[in-house]
C-alpha cells in the first residue's frame, strides 16, 4: 500500500491472526485511518510522524519458544501509545521483562467473563457491567513487567487486561475486534480517542475527490481499460475512473454466457445509457461453452474460464495502442491476503482472484483506486457516486460465474435451467426483504437426477440446490436460517416454473467445513 503522507493513522502490526483485518475495520468504522504492516516492516520503519498509536495483533507464535515473531524494543521508547491483543499482550510482557507460561490449566478458548480490578482509560464506560469476551490463547502472562497493573481478570486468567499508564502501554488477552466480544468497539474507542488522542478524520465520501485527482494525475492523456462485470467493485472503479478521465476510459464487458439471467444486458444498458460510459460488449459465450464441453473437474473449469477470459480481454486491449493502464477493483483484504503469503504468517485460506492475474501478462500499469477499502466501504463510495442500489448492494458473484454452480457438465440447456431457478430465488429474496440480510445467495444444479411425480406422471429430472449464507467477509459463513414458509414457497415456485427441475434442496452447511461456492 502506498504511504499515507500527512495522514494521522494507527499502525497495526500483524503477527498472523486470522482476524487482524477486523482490527483495521473496527478502527476505520470509528472514523480513523489504519494500516496493517508486517513485523518485518516495522523494523525498517524510519518515519513515525503520522503514527498516533500502534496495535500488536494476535498470532499463532508463542513467546515461550526460542524463536518468535517480535518487534524492536526501541518501539516502546517512541512515546507512541501501544495496545497488544492476545499474542500482542504476551509480546509486550515478554519484551518488557514479564513472565509468560504455556499452560493447559490457564488456556481459554471461547467465551470468558471479565472481573474488574481497577479503573483504566482503556476500559472507560466498558466494565460497568460484566462483559463476555472472546478468548483464544494457550499461553498466559503470569508475572507483569515493571510499572504494569492489572485492570481486569477472568476466572482462568488473572492478567487479562493490563496497563502501564505512564508509558501508555496496554494489553488485552481477549479479542475485542470480534463480534463475540461484548461491545469490543468501546475498547478501541478508548484507545483511539482517550489514549492516542487521535482525531476522527477518515470517512469514505471525503476520499472521493482525492481518488479522482490521483487517477487524473497518473493517467494524464493516456487511455485506461477496465473489465466491467457488473459487480460492485468493478462498477465503482468504472464510475470513479470515468469521473476522472471520461472518454479515455474503455470498459470491456466479456459475455461468458455464465452470468445470471438478464444480468449482462442490464449492466451494459445501465452503464451505457445512464452513466454514459464508453462500454464495449464482447460476446464470447460460444467459445466458453465449447471449451467447457464435457469438463466436470472444478479446477479444470476454473482454469479454462480464467484463461479464456484473459485471452479475450487481452485481444481487445491490444486493439488500441494508447491503452497504458488497467483499472481493477482490488480491495484492501485482497492486498493483505496476497501480502500475507510473503510477509506475515496469516494462513492463506483461499487465493484471491483479482490480484496478479491480468496485469503481468499484459504489461499495463495498474490503477487500483479501491485498494485501501473494505467491501462495505466500497458500497458507501458507490452510494456517493450515485451507483444504483441493485448493483451497489449486489451479493458477491464469483469470476467463473455459473460455471462453478453447475456441478458436472455445463451445457446450454443446464445453464438455462439454472438461470431460471436462480432468477426466481433471487427475486423472491428481494420481494420478501431478505436479500440485504444475506451475504450471498444462489441456486446451483447438482449432477444427478432423481425421480418425482407431477400430475400422474413420473418425472426424472434435476436437483436444484439453494444456498444462502451470512458472513462478514466471505472467509467464514453460516447458513441463513429461513422461515419455513419461505422454503416451502420457493420450492413450489421453482418446480412449478422451471421445466427440468423436480426437487429443491437447501444447503445447511457453514464455512468451514464447507465453502460458500460448491466448487
Ligand atoms: P468460497 O467458495 O471459497 O468463496 O467459500 C468465498 C467467496 O469468494 C467468492 N469466490 C470467487 N470470487 N472468483 C471470484 O471473484 C472466483 O473464482 C471465486 N471463487 C469463489 C465466493 O463467491 C465467495 O463470495
Residue 350 has pLDDT above 60, yes or no: no
CA–CA distance from 337 to each of 117, 279, 331, 348 (Å)?
39, 31, 10, 7
DSSP states of 212-274: HHHHHHHHTTSEEEEE--SSHHHHHHHHHHHHHHGGGEEEEEEE-S-SPTTHHHHHHHIIIII
The per-residue pLDDT for range 121-166, each reduced to its tens digit, is 999 999 888 888 988 888 889 999 999 999 999 988 889 999 999 9
Q: What is the mean pLDDT of residues 312-327?
A: 90
C-alpha Rg value of the chain to the nearest Å: 26
Indicate the fold that domain 9-195 takes in CATH: Rossmann fold (3.40.50)
The pLDDT value recorded for residue 331 is 87
The per-residue pLDDT for range 394-413, each reduced to its tens digit, is 999 998 999 999 999 999 99
| Domain at 207-392, CATH homologous superfamily | HUPs (3.40.50.620)
Please tell me the pTM assigned to this model. 0.78
On whether the CB atoms of residues 243 and 212 are closer than 8 A, the answer is yes
Indicate the fold that domain 405-506 takes in CATH: GMP Synthetase; Chain A, domain 3 (3.30.300)
3-state SS, 364-402, equals: CEEECCCCCCCHHHHHHHHHHCCCCHHHHCCCCCCCCHH
Cell of 488: 416451502
List the chain domain ranges: 9-195, 207-392, 405-506
Catalytic-role residue among 35, 69, 108, 175: 175
Q: Which atom of ligand 1 is nearest to the CA of 396?
A: 24
Residue 333 has pLDDT above 80, yes or no: no
The pLDDT value recorded for residue 355 is 40
The pLDDT value recorded for residue 334 is 75
Q: Which atom of ligand 1 is nearest to the CA of 515?
A: 5
Q: Is the dihedral of CA 377, 518, 313, 354 positive or negative?
A: positive
CA–CA distance from 142 to each of 93, 120, 162, 219, 488 (Å)?
9, 20, 12, 57, 56
In angstroms, how far is the first alpha carbon of the chain from the final one? 32
Topology agreement, domain 9-195 and domain 405-506: no
The pLDDT value recorded for residue 360 is 61
On whether the CB atoms of residues 69 and 45 are closer than 8 A, the answer is no
Active site residue 177: yes
Scanning the structure block, which residue is given the C-alpha cell 500488536?
A: 56
The pLDDT value recorded for residue 206 is 82
Per-residue pLDDT band at 358 (split at 50, 70, 90):
low
CB atoms near residue 412 (< 10 Å): 11
Using CB distances shorter than 6 Å, the residues near ligand 1 are 350, 353, 396, 398-400, 440, 474, 511, 515-517
The per-residue pLDDT for range 209-233, each reduced to its tens digit, is 989 999 999 999 999 999 999 999 9
| Substitution candidate for ligand 1 out of 474, 475, 476, 518 with most atoms within 8 A of CB | 474
Per-residue exposure over 236-248, b if at least 16 CB sit within 10 Å of its own CB, e if not:
bbbbbbbbbbeeb
The pLDDT value recorded for residue 346 is 47
- Residues for the chain: how many in total? 519
Q: Which atom of ligand 1 is nearest to the CA of 471?
A: 24
Residue 1 has pLDDT above 60, yes or no: no
The pLDDT value recorded for residue 348 is 42
Per-residue pLDDT band at 241 (split at 50, 70, 90):
very high
Catalytic-role residue among 69, 86, 263, 420: 86
Catalytic-role residue among 35, 69, 163, 177: 177
Active site residue 175: yes
Q: Which atom of ligand 1 is nearest to the CA of 306?
A: 17
The pLDDT value recorded for residue 337 is 54
Rounded CA gap, 423 and 427, in Å? 6
Q: Percent of the chain beyond pLDDT 70?
A: 93
| Substitution candidate for ligand 1 out of 310, 516, 519 with most atoms within 8 A of CB | 516
Q: What is the mean pLDDT of residues 284-303?
A: 95
The pLDDT value recorded for residue 47 is 85
Cell of 72: 524492536
Residue nearest to atom 20 of ligand 1 (CA): 398
Residue nearest to atom 6 of ligand 1 (CA): 474
Distance 398 CA to ligand 1 centre (A): 5
**Lowest mean pLDDT segment, chosen from 22-36, 103-117, 372-386, 451-465:** 103-117
Residue 4 has pLDDT above 60, yes or no: no
Per-residue pLDDT band at 3 (split at 50, 70, 90):
very low
Amino acid at each position: 500500500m502506498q504511504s499515507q503522507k500527512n495522514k494521522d493513522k494507527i499502525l497495526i502490526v500483524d503477527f498472523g491472526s486470522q482476524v487482524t483485518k477486523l482490527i483495521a475495520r473496527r478502527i476505520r468504522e470509528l472514523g480513523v485511518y489504519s494500516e496493517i504492516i508486517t513485523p518485518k516492516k516495522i523494523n525498517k520503519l524510519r518515519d513515525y510522524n503520522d503514527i498516533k498509536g500502534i496495535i500488536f495483533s494476535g498470532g499463532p507464535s508463542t513467546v515461550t519458544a526460542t524463536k518468535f515473531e517480535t518487534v524492536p524494543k526501541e518501539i516502546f521508547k517512541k512515546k507512541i501509545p501501544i495496545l497488544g491483543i492476545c499474542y500482542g499482550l504476551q509480546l509486550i510482557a515478554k519484551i518488557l521483562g514479564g513472565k509468560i507460561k504455556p499452560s493447559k490449566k490457564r488456556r481459554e478458548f471461547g467465551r470468558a467473563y471479565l472481573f474488574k480490578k481497577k479503573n483504566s482509560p482503556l476500559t472507560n464506560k466498558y466494565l460497568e457491567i460484566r462483559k463476555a469476551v472472546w478468548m483464544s490463547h494457550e499461553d498466559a502472562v503470569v508475572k507483569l513487567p515493571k510499572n504494569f497493573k492489572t485492570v481486569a481478570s477472568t476466572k482462568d486468567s488473572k492478567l487479562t487486561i493490563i496497563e502501564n499508564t505512564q508509558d501508555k502501554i496496554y494489553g488485552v488477552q481477549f479479542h475485542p475486534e470480534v463480534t463475540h466480544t461484548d461491545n469490543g468497539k468501546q475498547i478501541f474507542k478508548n484507545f483511539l480517542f482517550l489514549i492516542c488522542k487521535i482525531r476522527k478524520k477518515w470517512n469514505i465520501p471525503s476520499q472521493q475527490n482525492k481518488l479522482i485527482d490521483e487517477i487524473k494525475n497518473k493517467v494524464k492523456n493516456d487511455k485506461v481499460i477496465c473489465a466491467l462485470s457488473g459487480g460492485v467493485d468493478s462498477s465503482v472503479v468504472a464510475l470513479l475512473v470515468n469521473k476522472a478521465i471520461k472518454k479515455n476510459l474503455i470498459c470491456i464487458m466479456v459475455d461468458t454466457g455464465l452470468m445470471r439471467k438478464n444480468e449482462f444486458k442490464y449492466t451494459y444498458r445501465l452503464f451505457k445509457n445512464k452513466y454514459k460510459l464508453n462500454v464495449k460488449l464482447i460476446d464470447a459465450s460460444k467459445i466458453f461453452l465449447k471449451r467447457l464441453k464435457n469438463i466436470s473437474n472444478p479446477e479444470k473449469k476454473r482454469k479454462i474460464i480464467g484463461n479464456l477470459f484473459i485471452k479475450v480481454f487481452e485481444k481487445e486491449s491490444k486493439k488500441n495502442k494508447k491503452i497504458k493502464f488497467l483499472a481493477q477493483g482490488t480491495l484492501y483484504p485482497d492486498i493483505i491476503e496476497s501480502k500475507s503469503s510473503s510477509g506475515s504468517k496469516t494462513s492463506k485460506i483461499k487465493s484471491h482472484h483479482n490480484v496478479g492475474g491480468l496485469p503481468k501478462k499484459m504489461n499495463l500499469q495498474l490503477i487500483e483506486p479501491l485498494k485501501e477499502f473494505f467491501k462495505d466501504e466500497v458500497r458507501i463510495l458507490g452510494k456517493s457516486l450515485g451507483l444504483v442500489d441493485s448493483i451497489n448492494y449486489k451479493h458477491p458473484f464469483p469470476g467463473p460465474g455459473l460455471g462453478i454452480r453447475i456441478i458436472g457438465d455445463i451445457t446450454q440447456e443446464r445453464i438455462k435451467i439454472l438461470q431460471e431457478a436462480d432468477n426466481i430465488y433471487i427475486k423472491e429474496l428481494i420481494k420478501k426483504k431478505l436479500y440485504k440480510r444475506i451475504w450471498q445467495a444462489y441456486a446451483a444444479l447438482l449432477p444427478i437426477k432423481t425421480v418425482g411425480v407431477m400430475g400422474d406422471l413420473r418425472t426424472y429430472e434435476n436437483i436444484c440446490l439453494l444456498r444462502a449464507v451470512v458472513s462478514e467477509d466471505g472467509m467464514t459463513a453460516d447458513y441463513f436460517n429461513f422461515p419455513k414458509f419461505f422454503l416451502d414457497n420457493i420450492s413450489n415456485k421453482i418446480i412449478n416454473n422451471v421445466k427440468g427441475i423436480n426437487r429443491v434442496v437447501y444447503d445447511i452447511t457453514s464455512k468451514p467445513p464447507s465453502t460458500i461456492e460448491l466448487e
